[in-house]
């Protein structure tokens, strides 16, 4: 399986107050809010563990890189600024997952204001 259905369900629960769609892409599952990529889940090919993809934008990017479990998203071999991968240990706790989804939704709301 390309991603954990249990982790996907945890994300769905948190996004339930929002209108969102799911798209299978990049070997995982991406959640789109307001027609923009917001958060996703897949399996890290090196560790074979779940990882979260979070779109946080560039304003808080450097600060959020310092959070436990977060690292630059380099899915294509090139760093994608504004996107982070978060290792499973960084979102196993509900409060940690809430934190990351909160950051993604904050940035997503900014996107909708500029469109």
Cα separation, 39 vs 79, whole angstroms: 17
Q: What's the domain range around 27?
A: 5-91+104-114
17 Cβ contact list (under 8 Å, min separation 6)? none
User: Does 77 fall in a domain?
Assistant: yes
Number of structural domains, the chain? 1
* Secondary structure (3-state) at 67: coil
- Summarize pLDDT for 2-25 with one digit per residue, the tens: 789 999 999 999 999 999 999 998
> By the 8 A CB rule, do 25 and 18 touch?
no
CATH code of the domain in which 49 resides: 3.90.1150.30
User: Does 10 fall in a domain?
Assistant: yes
User: Does 30 fall in a domain?
Assistant: yes
User: Does 98 fall in a domain?
Assistant: no
Query: Which range has the top average pLDDT, 19-28, 41-50, 92-101?
Result: 92-101
The two most distant CA atoms of the chain are separated, in Å, by 38
User: Does 97 fall in a domain?
Assistant: no
User: Does 69 fall in a domain?
Assistant: yes
User: Does 99 fall in a domain?
Assistant: no
What are 30's strand-pairing partners?
23, 40
User: Does 84 fall in a domain?
Assistant: yes
What average pLDDT does the segment 99-113 reach? 93
* Secondary structure (3-state) at 108: helix
């Amino acid at each position: 399986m390309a991603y954990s259905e249990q982790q996907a369900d945890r994300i769905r629960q948190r996004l339930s107050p929002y209108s969102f769609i799911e798209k299978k892409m990049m070997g995982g599952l991406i959640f789109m809010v307001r027609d923009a990529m917001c958060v996703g889940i897949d399996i890290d090919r090196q560790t074979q563990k779940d990882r979260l993809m979070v779109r946080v934008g560039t304003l808080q990017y450097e600060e959020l890189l310092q959070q436990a479990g977060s690292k630059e998203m380099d899915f294509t071999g090139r760093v994608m600024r504004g996107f982070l991968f978060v290792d499973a240990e960084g979102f196993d706790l509900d409060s940690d997952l809430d934190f990351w989804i909160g950051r993604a939704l904050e940035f997503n709301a900014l996107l909708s204001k500029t469109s």
